[in-house]
Amino acid sequence: MKKIIIANWKMNPKTSKEAAILARAASEAARVAKNIEVVIAPPFVHLQAVRGVKLGAQNIFWEKSGPYTGEISPLQLKAYGVRHVLLGHSERRTLGETNEEINKKVKAVLENGMKAILCVGETEKKKDVVFPQEIATELKEGLKNIKKNFLKNLIVVYEPVWAISTNKNAKADNPKNVFEMTILIRKELLKMFGKKVAFLTPILYGGSVDKKNAVDFVKLGKVDGLLVGSASLNPKKFVKIIKNVSKI
Ligand code: PGA
């Protein structure tokens, strides 16, 4: 399976010109790194500036069309060439998005044949907790009543909130812990959907990924890819991440 590297640009950059420069660097690196699937999730206003890599979205609405001011539908994103959608990112959860809404979005994405990238992760690091209840709940409620045959398009990201670079005192997780978390997430998926989904769902890591730690997360943390925020806004750093991981 190809490793997946997803850039989450969040609410950056300011202009389409800057977006195109960032995207060009990533797409050149992606062209060379044939064993990596590079996805860029720009803000909606920059979707058009991104070429030469897989196009992702940072959000979606669950209805097909109609009176929903300010929302964007799965059909619109699909028509635009979007094939991956980030869902349940902690920054959206902080803005009030609930597991119930995330579940509707996951369904809408999967039913429209796109890849749902479901982010899960605990808010605080607690030493004595092996598998945070928050993650179990996010998986259970986020994936509630989803038909099993759609789950081939599910990607899960383990992204502890305390590790996201823009959060206070953030620090990347360590590969050993990430590896353990991927096993526990697979166990949860096993309980919910059985062996095939548990084994085949790609699990990525996100949280302060940079050019120095990216390889270790993939090699020692044994994840299927990475979700990169801040470092994806620096073309040199992001290209280095792609190149380094492609050499594993
Ligand atoms: P970060 O962000 O790489 O800047 O920590 C990751 C994310 O929030 O998706």
Each of the 248 residues of the chain gets a pLDDT tens digit; together they read: 899 999 999 999 999 999 999 999 999 999 999 999 999 999 999 999 999 999 999 999 999 999 999 999 999 999 999 999 999 999 999 999 999 999 999 999 999 999 999 999 999 998 889 999 999 999 999 999 999 999 999 999 999 999 999 999 999 999 999 999 999 999 999 999 999 999 999 999 999 999 999 999 999 999 999 999 999 999 999 999 999 999 99
> According to the model, what pLDDT value does residue 127 have?
85
Is 46 one of the annotated active-site residues of the chain?
no
Q: Which of 89, 159, 164, 223 to mutate to test the pocket of ligand 1 (most atoms within 8 A of CB)?
A: 164
Q: Which of 159, 178, 226 to mutate to test the pocket of ligand 1 (most atoms within 8 A of CB)?
A: 159
- CA–centroid distance, 91 to ligand 1, in Å, is 10
165 within ligand 1 shell (Cβ under 6 A): yes
Strands 36-41, 203-206: parallel, antiparallel or unpaired by DSSP? unpaired
- CA–centroid distance, 19 to ligand 1, in Å, is 18
Out of 37, 46, 84, 89, which one is annotated catalytic? 89
> According to the model, what pLDDT value does residue 149 have?
94
Provide the token pair at 129. 């907790």
121 within ligand 1 shell (Cβ under 6 A): no
Nearest protein CA to atom 1 of ligand 1, as residue: 229
Phi, psi of 106, rounded to the nearest 5 degrees:
-60, -45
Distance CA 14, CA 155 (A): 29
Out of 37, 122, 159, 188, which one is annotated catalytic? 159
Is 159 one of the annotated active-site residues of the chain?
yes
> According to the model, what pLDDT value does residue 233 have?
98
- CA–centroid distance, 127 to ligand 1, in Å, is 22
User: Long-range contacts of range 197-204, CB-CB < 8 Å, 24 or more positions apart?
Assistant: 197/148, 197/151, 197/154, 200/152, 201/151, 201/154, 201/155, 201/156, 202/1, 202/4, 202/155, 202/156, 203/155, 203/156, 203/157, 203/158, 204/4, 204/6, 204/117, 204/155, 204/156, 204/157, 204/158
